[in-house]
Amino acid sequence: MNARPDMEILARQFTFDDSFLKVIIEDFSLPHWGKSAGGGTNSAHWILGHLAVSRRFLARLVGAELEKEDWEANFDMGADFGVPEDSPAPPELFSCFLSAGKVLRATLEGLDEEGCERELKRPFPDGSKTVAGAARFLQNHELYHFGQLGLIRSLCGLPPFA
């Protein structure tokens, strides 16, 4: 089985995202996690949970055996913006994000042509219809949410990260 070079590159981008997210959130304290960018948008806590869930979803989509946890429903697409009390705390969610990233990268690096071109049951919002397309979409999806967290960071008066 030969991995596709574009998936190996994508795996490296997800690795970079680990470091990037750490820099964005490293100064967050408990009050910051409850903040949002305003206008009925998600809190930083919810966004971090959503990022962890998205990585776990993608890892499973590309072929990893990763059991779905009950808490994932709290941060899934279409879930309520609130964070239920029994949800994992931000440090645990960040840990889940990182561990899902390790599984995801290993799976992406081993993804062959057939795995990449496997058709999805329904297209992604950008029109992607294959596993490779979904992986590219979800990497960009991470960056979108990093921007939201960066905005929340700024609104909280924290120093810029870049």
Contact 128, 120 (CB under 8 A): yes
Residue 47 maps to a domain = yes
Contact 116, 128 (CB under 8 A): no
pLDDT computed for residue 84 by the predictor:
86
Residue 122 maps to a domain = yes
Residue 72 belongs to a domain with what CATH number?
A: 1.20.120.450
- pTM score of the predicted model: 0.94
Low-confidence stretches of the chain (pLDDT beneath 70):
1-3, 162
Rounded-to-integer distance, Cα 99 and Cα 83, Å: 21
Residue 86 maps to a domain = yes
Residue with tokens 């990093």: 146
pLDDT computed for residue 47 by the predictor:
97
In total, how many domains does the chain have? Answer: 1
Residue 162 maps to a domain = no
Residue 76 maps to a domain = yes
Rounded-to-integer distance, Cα 32 and Cα 25, Å: 9
Q: Which domain holds residue 47?
A: 5-155
